[in-house]
Every structure is written in C-alpha cells, then in structure tokens.
Amino acid sequence: MLFLHEFEQIEAEAFLTLAAELIEEDGVVTAEEDALLDEYAAALGVTGFTFDAAASAAARFTMSQLNETSKRKVYMELYAFAVCDGCEAPEERRSLNELRDALELDPHICKRLEECAEDLFSVYDEIEETLSAEPSAVIVKNELPIPPTAAAPEA
C-alpha cells in the first residue's frame, strides 16, 4: 500500500518507529516484515532508519497530531505490517487496538479499513498470479467474418 505520501520527515520516522514496534510485538521479525519496513523507509525517503524503542512515545504523540484522514491511513498501513507475514499475532492485535484508541479512531471505521486492506491484498495476489501465469494453450479464432463497411446513403 503506501497512502502516506504527504508525510514530512518527522512523521515518516514516527510511522516507521510504530511499524518497527508492531512487527517486534510477537517476538519474531520475519523476512517479509523486515522487507516491508525497508520498502516503506525507501518510499518515505528515510535513509538509515533504525528502531529505537525509546522513541515510541514520541512517535505516538506525533501521530496523534495528524488530521483524522492521516490517522486512518496510519492505522491501515500499520495493519498491513501486522498481517504481511500471513498471520496477525494476538500481540499485534492488542497493539493495533491500543493505537486505534490512542489516535481516537472509530473501531468500525478501522474494521472497514482492515477489510479494504485485505481486499487490496487479494487484488495484488491476483495480479501477481496473472503476471506469472503460463500462456494458455487454447487458440481463439475469430470465425465470424467482419462485414465490409457499407457506404452511408446520400441524403
């Protein structure tokens, strides 16, 4: 995804801090999670990002200062981190719920954002499958002749 294109450097770093904190919640950082964090850092223009757990409170404060739409984007993007390894650990769910509450987001809207993200992931998967699919062995022939264009009658 990446709906955070409007973020300034401090907001981008705050987001990456919360993302890194989230992926470490279950005690295991998978290759998928690590790669996703690197992709987001590059897309947000943050070089040399390293997670500092002591910066988490400041990151939450920075995110709490955003407008409602940006807060929702942060939540949705962080949800992508929670599920990018194929499962959502209970620790990640707890962390998402705490973030949702800290940002004063509507739980129903957050649930809808999660569903939208899941739908988007399904479309991405379908695109990947189609891009890597083998060509079809079926040959399609146009068996109906194309009629010649008739000249329009003069008025």
pLDDT per position as a tens digit, 94-135: 999 999 999 999 999 999 999 999 998 889 889 999 999 888
Residue 84: count of CB within 10 angstroms of its CB: 18
Q: CB of 28 within 8 A of CB of 80?
A: no
According to the model, what pLDDT value does residue 152 have? 56
pLDDT per position as a tens digit, 52-97: 989 999 999 999 999 999 999 999 999 998 998 888 889 999 999 9
Cα–Cα distance between 115 and 93 in angstroms, integer?
14
Domain ranges of the chain: 9-123
Cα–Cα distance between 95 and 53 in angstroms, integer?
14
* pTM for this model (two decimals): 0.80
Mapped to the 3 state alphabet, what secondary structure does 127-138 carry?
A: HHHHHCCCCCCC
CATH fold of 9-123 reads TerB-like (1.10.3680)
143 vs 55: which has the higher pLDDT:
55
Report CA-CA distances (Å) from 135 to 55, 138, 141: 51, 9, 16
